[in-house]
Amino acid sequence: MPAAGGFDKGNGKGYPGKLTPFVTVTCIVAAMGGLIFGYDIGISGGVTSMPSFLKRFFPSVYRKQQANSSTNQYCQYNSETLTLFTSSLYLAALLSSLVASSVTRKFGRKKSMLFGGVLFFAGALINGFAQGVWMLIVGRLLLGFGIGFANQSVPLYLSEMAPYKYRGALNIGFQLSITIGILIANVLNYFFAKIKGGWGWRLSLGGAMVPALIITIGSLVLPDTPNSMIERGQRDEAREKLRKIRGVNDVDEEFNDLVGASEASKQVEHPWGNLLKRKYRPHLTMAILIPFFQQLTGINVIMFYAPVLFNTIGFGNDASLMSAVITGLVNACATLVSIYGVDKWGRRSLFLEGGTQMLICQAIVAACIGAKFGVDGNPGELPKWYAVVVVLFICLYVAAFAWSWGPLGWLVPSEIFPLEIRSAAQSVNVSVNMAFTFVVAQIFLNMLCHLKFGLFIFFAFFVLVMSIFIFFFLPETNGIPIEEMGQVWKNHWFWSRYVGEDDFVSNGGVELQKGNKAINNV
């Protein structure tokens, strides 16, 4: 029996191709699609802790906060409209990623990116000029539609474009952009909050137009992926493009495999229904569980509400926004570690190390907050060293997420789906991610109010479960061309029950359906 993550590299097939400047620049531009998502994640937490913003749109939260000296610290921000403001976006993103599946499949990855940029731009514009809560919510719905399109298409684009040996690093460019977006937003919030007259939040929200323009323009100048061009019948152009991307003339083997995958994909009339077939059980499981677990690490509690949380544990407004800048910086820098290591150490080791580190940090943070705030939420005077210790362990937790579940939550799904279900399965991935981002955002303030420091134990429990899951059920995908991924399931101790030898027949490496003559002739 192979080890839990075990596989052999099958026929060890590899395609010629270099890390050309063309592919590098292309992937950097495409990865910037992550900026809109990141900018929004970072901006909402800061804006919702700005007194002028609260006073105007959420006066009841504002009043509660002003009177906070006597109330329970755990509950001071608990407001349904405030959480609805943050989380409405994720419902919209969930819906649009489902629509994006057909756009990405039929019109190419670039079109989805373009829609993503344009919708996000419109949302940012409305938010920047918001006059009432309804405008804020309409704006956020548009931002959400934009994010759904972008997150559905950008990771697929990157994984298809990248030479397989560098796929991990190039794909993680997406997560790096998310973290850079979060960081920029945190820094801007810090400065905009200081603007006299209290209209800085307009700049924070309206500033989202800048990353929106970047992805919009990017999507207009980027080439489409060869996989997508072949899928849409442009074979000759696709071969030329592949030569340019790989920087070698001899691309026949990879090209033929892509054509094979595309033919297989055309046999599939209902990509959604297809997902339910037994042989796609491992893919469907990963498309659901990886994003679910990614959100149940509790990362967005820190990302959305870091200023609120730091405020709760006794920091002033300014110090709270500053701490959010610090966690944002750690998040971005630690992502570089995974860019460096993902194609060297593999996905599993990063997942397992990151999980262990997060678990330890969560336990320590829970103990610290529990020790001082107890169950009544009235800590009394908090010493400085205490705040430093809490921030330190929160930073170590963020770093662990940033080199494990953060990037891998987008990378692994985008590289394991065969072309015939790729777009639909990626939509499942994005929608589950958004659904649970919504759930966490929606219930966090309420959970903090009721579970108190136990909130951190709640997430720690899930981190334990997900690490066990990875250990036993996720095969290593490092160093395997994406159109050859079928072998990792066939060789896996558990998934081989679902994916038999005959399910995907390798034709020089490509995954073909049994008895599919059209494909064997390619």
Q: How far apart are CA 348 and CA 473, in angstroms?
A: 10
**Environment class of 198 (CB within 10 Å of its CB; exposed 0-12, middle 13-18, buried 19+):** middle
Short-list 459, 463, 457, 445, CA closest to 366: 457
- Asked if 162 contacts 23 with a C-beta cutoff of 8 angstroms, the reply is yes
Per-residue mark of binding to ligand BGC, 13-42 (x: CB under 6 A): ----------------------------x-
In the window 92-131, what residues touch ligand BGC (CB under 6 A)? Answer: none
In the window 313-332, what residues touch ligand BGC (CB under 6 A)? Answer: 331
* Nearest CB to ligand BGC, comparing residues 168 and 509: 168
Q: How far apart are CA 268 and CA 287, in angstroms?
A: 19
In the complex, minimum distance from the CB of residue 150 to ligand BGC, in angstroms, rounded to a whole number: 12
- Asked if 66 contacts 74 with a C-beta cutoff of 8 angstroms, the reply is no
Short-list 174, 160, 154, 157, CA closest to 17: 160
For position 154 contacting ligand BGC by CB under 6 A, the verdict is: no
**H or E element: which one contains 99?**
helix 80-107
* Nearest CB to ligand BGC, comparing residues 104 and 331: 331
* Nearest CB to ligand BGC, comparing residues 411 and 485: 411
In the complex, minimum distance from the CB of residue 136 to ligand BGC, in angstroms, rounded to a whole number: 20
Strand partners, 512: 505
Task: Pick from 108, 211, 406, 475 the residue near ligand BGC by CB under 6 A.
Answer: 406
Residue 179 has, within 13 A of its CA and on its CB side, a CA count of 26
Q: Single out the segment in contact with ligand BGC by CB under 6 A; choices: 92-100, 174-182, 234-242, 451-459.
A: 174-182
Q: Single out the segment in contact with ligand BGC by CB under 6 A; choices: 82-90, 388-396, 406-414, 481-489.
A: 406-414
Q: Which amino acid is at 477?
A: T
Match 């407004």 to its residue by tokens.
Answer: 317
Q: Single out the segment in contact with ligand BGC by CB under 6 A; choices: 239-247, 269-277, 403-411, 458-466.
A: 403-411
- Asked if 192 contacts 204 with a C-beta cutoff of 8 angstroms, the reply is yes
Q: CB within 8 A of 141, min separation 6: which ones? A: 88, 89, 91, 92, 123
Q: What are phi and psi of 453, to 5 degrees?
A: -65, -20
In the complex, minimum distance from the CB of residue 300 to ligand BGC, in angstroms, rounded to a whole number: 5
Q: Single out the segment in contact with ligand BGC by CB under 6 A; choices: 175-183, 279-287, 307-315, 422-430.
A: 175-183
Q: Which two tokens stand for residue 295?
A: 């959100």
* Nearest CB to ligand BGC, comparing residues 15 and 403: 403
Q: Which amino acid is at 429?
A: N
Task: Pick from 27, 103, 118, 178 the residue near ligand BGC by CB under 6 A.
Answer: 178
* Nearest CB to ligand BGC, comparing residues 76 and 327: 327
In the complex, minimum distance from the CB of residue 278 to ligand BGC, in angstroms, rounded to a whole number: 29
**H or E element: which one contains 153?**
helix 133-161
Question: Which long-range contacts (C-beta less than 8 Å, at least 24 apart) are formed by 238-246?
Answer: 244/20, 244/22, 245/17, 245/20, 245/22, 245/23, 245/26, 245/161, 246/15, 246/16, 246/17, 246/18, 246/20, 246/23, 246/163
DSSP 8-state code for residue 495: G
* Nearest CB to ligand BGC, comparing residues 107 and 469: 469
Task: Pick from 26, 44, 48, 179 the residue near ligand BGC by CB under 6 A.
Answer: 179
* Nearest CB to ligand BGC, comparing residues 152 and 175: 175
* Nearest CB to ligand BGC, comparing residues 97 and 179: 179
* Nearest CB to ligand BGC, comparing residues 7 and 417: 417
Q: Single out the segment in contact with ligand BGC by CB under 6 A; choices: 171-179, 226-234, 459-467, 512-520.
A: 171-179
Q: Single out the segment in contact with ligand BGC by CB under 6 A; choices: 69-77, 85-93, 405-413, 496-504.
A: 405-413
- Asked if 351 contacts 476 with a C-beta cutoff of 8 angstroms, the reply is no
In the window 258-317, what residues touch ligand BGC (CB under 6 A)? Answer: 294, 299-300, 303
- Asked if 200 contacts 52 with a C-beta cutoff of 8 angstroms, the reply is yes
CA 505 to chain centre: 32
In the complex, minimum distance from the CB of residue 463 to ligand BGC, in angstroms, rounded to a whole number: 15
In the complex, minimum distance from the CB of residue 215 to ligand BGC, in angstroms, rounded to a whole number: 16
DSSP 8-state code for residue 249: S
* Nearest CB to ligand BGC, comparing residues 135 and 333: 333
In the window 327-386, what residues touch ligand BGC (CB under 6 A)? Answer: 331
In the window 415-474, what residues touch ligand BGC (CB under 6 A)? Answer: 433, 437
Short-list 155, 202, 211, 204, CA closest to 180: 211
Residues in binding contact with ligand BGC, number by CB under 6 A: 15
* Nearest CB to ligand BGC, comparing residues 41 and 325: 41
Match 């297809």 to its residue by tokens.
Answer: 274
In the complex, minimum distance from the CB of residue 338 to ligand BGC, in angstroms, rounded to a whole number: 11
Per CB under 6 A, residues contacting ligand BGC are 41, 175, 178-179, 182, 294, 299-300, 303, 331, 406, 409-410, 433, 437
